[in-house]
Structures are given as structure tokens and as C-alpha cells.
A = this chain, B = another copy of it.
């Protein structure tokens, strides 16, 4: 690749500059950017206001003035900038380059990679991911506003450590949340967390209670970590249509896991309706009685055949107080489930076809809960099964707890939105 001693020496137009030189040289570089007429400058460089040193905070302010005068915008500093799959502007090696409808803005450069990377095997694809670090110029409010009008974005997610202008943020959030689902993970919700956020991106959080109340008022979905964020995005993207109630039927193997499933669902605010006698009678036709629980959750060892799974789903999906279905394997490794048949295509194909048919006929989402393997062999089987379900457009979660938490949040948000 050709190298140049500075921006001015580059022939032709320069739209966007990615800066990785030390902070001390920032001002001279920005002078060159102004001369060259660039449109945006992304500072990967750190060591500004987040260091807590007055001199470095002043340098940051001077950079902003320079950008205003030069007519260009600054992204960062102290961030990994833009990841735009469609244009192949990529800053992370493990994310998918396939574009999709999810946008993510993040004050943390790490999380700006983590969400696409953790979302990739679950089927999440992104329109724009913007890491904006200290948010000196381009900030959360402007990004939210932009994304609410972006035709490539259907779902907006944000990792925010601090908001500089509460009034602007309120307006931007209101506009975004009234057009698209907005999922917010606020970092720094404890005293120690706020201290860490201040050292990370120079963020000064006002009251957590105020931020919470604002998010609730504006109708956003709030989460508490990266995994919950990915889970809610999977629910929004693939558990369609959003269930109109909280009734869930859990189908799977294992008495202990069935008890766990019930506790997890109810604790998350979902509801496990009892099965009416007629449904139980129908189930007896397809499932054995010994060692089975023909209630809700439905636990039967022969739920490891595709015929039994799909037949059971057909029966419960007809019930009016069931609004969604969950199929899980308990803690069984996928490689030993159904006598080792589970990850074979002779099992997966008809199971997936059957599930899609149940979904199509009932209009109720069917969620899969598959636990990652503990060893390489199980992990291989898990990845193959996950990929098959995800490719078929099905929502896959890694625990009953995660599935319940994500669905509960999405349903509550949707109910509020519908008034």
C-alpha cells in the first residue's frame, strides 16, 4: 500500500481520515485535514480528556474548534470509529460483512466489536456500527437522530456511558424510539461503574434514576450487559410476530430443567398456562407416559424425535392462551441428544421444516434454547445445530434464563407502545 508523509501529500480527494498517531501531533494533522478538505476524521488515538489531565482536556477542546473552522467532523477521540458492512469499512476481524437491519452506537470500542461478534452466530447483521468514544463532536444524540431516519436501519441499539446534553438527548431519543425499537445498555449504573466510565470516556453520568426514568418514558428497552443486548436484538429480529401476551409453552427434555424453565419464565414475568385436558389427551397419543410430564412444561424423553417435537408443537400452538413456544434440550449435550441424531441433517431438516410450518399456521414464534458445548466435540455439534436454526430464521438462545428475559422485555415494550 502506498504511504504518504502527511494528508496534504495524498493525491485526489480524501473523505475520511483514521488517526492512529500520538495525541501530541493531533493539531498539526487537523490543520492538514482542513487544507485537504476532508469531511470526517476518526481519532483512534486516546489520551485526551479521559486521562483526567487538564492539559489533555484542553487539547481536545482546541481540536473541536479546529474542526468547526475547517468544516469537518470528528468521531471520537478514543474509539474504533466506523464499521459499515455495505461499504466494507471494517474495524473488526470477526464480524460478518453481510449488511443487515441492526444499527449499534457505542461509547466503548470493545463493545462496538463485541456486539457484532457475539451477534454473528445468532444471525444478527448490521447496517452501521459507530464507536464514538469521548463523543467530542459526533455524539449519541446526533447518531440517534441520524439512525431514526436511516432507511437501512430497522432496530437501534446503543451502549452509552454518559450524556453531555440531556435536553438534546431527550429529543433525539424520543424521535428515535417513536419510529424504531431502541435498545439501550447504560454502562456505569453503580458508583464504581461511574468512576470507571469517567476514566474510560470522560463520561459524567447524571443520576442513574433520571436516565432510567427518561428511557422508560421514551419507550426504550433497557438491558444491563452485552449478552442481554444481543438476546433482545435476537428477540426483536427473529421472534416474530411479537407475542400479544405472555403465555409460553415450554417443550423439551428433563424433569429438573422443566422445573428450572418454569421458575425462569415466571420470574421473568412470563406465564405458563396449564394445559387443558383435551390437549393432554392429544399429547398422550404422541408421547409416552412413564417418565413424562404432560403438563406445561412438557417433558418427555421421546421429545428427541422430530415427529414428536413437531406433533407436540402443533397441539400446543393451537391453544389460545399460548403466545409463544420454547423448545429446549435441558443441559443435554447436543451430541448425545436423541441418541446422537440431533445435529444430523436427517433430524434437523424435518424438525426445522416442521417448526416453520407450526409458526406459519399458528402465527406464534417458536424459540430454540441450545446450550453451548463444554468440550470441542459438543461445541462442534452445537455450532452446527445453531447455524441450521439461525439460517432458517429462528431465534436461538443459549439458556432458558436468557430467552425468558429477552422475550419479557420485548413484550412489555410492545404492549406499552401499543398503549
Residues A225 and B376 in contact, CB atoms below 8 Å apart: no
Q: How far is the CB of A31 from chain B (nearest CB, A)?
A: 22
Collect the chain B residues with CB atoms within 8 Å of residue A293's CB. 196, 199-200
A405 at the interface (CB under 8 A from B): no
Binary per-residue interface labels of chain A (351-382) against chain B in the complex, 1 for a CB within 8 Å, 0 otherwise: 00000000000000000000011111001100
A414 at the interface (CB under 8 A from B): no
Listed A/B pairs (6) with beta-carbon separation below 8 Å: A109-B256, A159-B256, A189-B267, A190-B267, A192-B263, A224-B263
Residues A383 and B372 in contact, CB atoms below 8 Å apart: no
Residues A195 and B274 in contact, CB atoms below 8 Å apart: yes
Binary per-residue interface labels of chain A (155-187) against chain B in the complex, 1 for a CB within 8 Å, 0 otherwise: 000010100000000000000000000000001
A333 at the interface (CB under 8 A from B): yes
Q: Roughly how many angstroms separate A290 CA and B199 CA in the complex, as a whole number?
A: 11
A123 at the interface (CB under 8 A from B): no
A118 at the interface (CB under 8 A from B): yes
If the complex has contacts A299-B200, A374-B121, A375-B383, are A192 and B260 also in contact, measured as CB distance less than 8 A? no
Interface positions, chain A 129-170, Cβ under 8 Å from B, are 159, 161
Residues B330 and A110 in contact, CB atoms below 8 Å apart: yes
A94 at the interface (CB under 8 A from B): yes
Task: Please give the residue numbers on chain A whose beta carbons come within 8 Å of chain B beta carbons, in ascending order.
Answer: 22-23, 45-47, 51, 78, 93-94, 106-111, 113-114, 117-118, 120-121, 159, 161, 187-193, 195-197, 199-201, 224-227, 254-267, 271-272, 274, 289-291, 293, 295-297, 299, 330-333, 336, 372-376, 379-380, 383, 399, 401
Collect the chain B residues with CB atoms within 8 Å of residue A336's CB. 93
Q: Which of A23, A106, A259, A291 has its CB near the most chain B CB atoms (within 10 A)?
A: A259
Known: A110-B330, A200-B293. 14 other contacts (CB 8 A): A94-B333, A110-B254, A110-B331, A113-B331, A114-B330, A121-B374, A188-B262, A190-B266, A192-B265, A192-B271, A193-B260, A195-B262, A199-B295, A200-B258
Residues A259 and B383 in contact, CB atoms below 8 Å apart: no
Collect the chain B residues with CB atoms within 8 Å of residue A380's CB. 376
If the complex has contacts A117-B374, A383-B375, are A259 and B47 also in contact, measured as CB distance less than 8 A? no
Residues A262 and B51 in contact, CB atoms below 8 Å apart: no
Q: Which of A78, A196, A291, A383 has its CB near the most chain B CB atoms (within 10 A)?
A: A196
Q: How far is the CB of A237 from chain B (nearest CB, A)?
A: 18
Q: How far is the CB of A77 from chain B (nearest CB, A)?
A: 10
Collect the chain B residues with CB atoms within 8 Å of residue A330's CB. 110, 114
Residues B192 and A266 in contact, CB atoms below 8 Å apart: yes
Collect the chain B residues with CB atoms within 8 Å of residue A296's CB. 192
Q: Roughly how many angstroms separate A192 CA and B330 CA in the complex, as a whole number?
A: 17
Closest partner residue, chain B, to A378 (CB atom): B94
Residues B161 and A200 in contact, CB atoms below 8 Å apart: no
Closest partner residue, chain B, to A107 (CB atom): B256
Q: Roughly how many angstroms separate A297 CA and B188 CA in the complex, as a whole number?
A: 12
Q: Roughly how many angstroms separate A109 CA and B114 CA in the complex, as a whole number?
A: 37
Residues A47 and B291 in contact, CB atoms below 8 Å apart: yes
Residues B256 and A290 in contact, CB atoms below 8 Å apart: no
The residue that A289 contacts in the complex, of B51, B191, B262, with Cβ under 8 A, is: B51
Residues B374 and A376 in contact, CB atoms below 8 Å apart: no
